[in-house]
Amino acid sequence: MRILLDECVNAGVRAAFPKHPVRTVAEMGWQSRKDPELLLDAERSFDVFVTIDRKIELQQDLTRFRLGFVIARVRSNLIAEFLPIFEQLREAAEKVKPGEIIQVSALSL
């Protein structure tokens, strides 16, 4: 399973997926692309898109992409915010299906 981390996700989150190839949007040279273009490019090379952008599912019809989406609900982009949910992020990425969205939250609601 190939994983792409959105540019708003701390690159250190790659450590949550030790058995999978992980790239960042910056590593791919796709910074500042609008979501539709970014997601079309992503689905050609990746299986899972990890983001903290909560608006993405309201602004895009994610069901039309051949990508699974994992949305991390964290207070900030600091790696310390992600560490408590590393296992849940990995599990979500391993089970998400194309066009599906799984939210993982570090926030107590």
Whole-number Å distance between alpha carbons of 67 and 60: 13
pLDDT in the model for residue 100: 97
Domain boundaries, the chain: 3-105
Using CB atoms within 10 A of its CB, is residue 38 exposed (0-12), middle (13-18) or buried (19+)?
buried
One digit per residue, pLDDT tens: the chain, 109 residues?
999 999 999 999 999 999 999 999 999 999 999 999 999 999 999 999 999 998 998 899 999 999 999 999 999 999 999 999 999 999 999 999 999 999 999 876 4
Alpha helix ranges (H) inside 13-71: 25-28, 35-45, 56-59
CB 77 within 8 A of CB 8: yes
pLDDT in the model for residue 109: 45
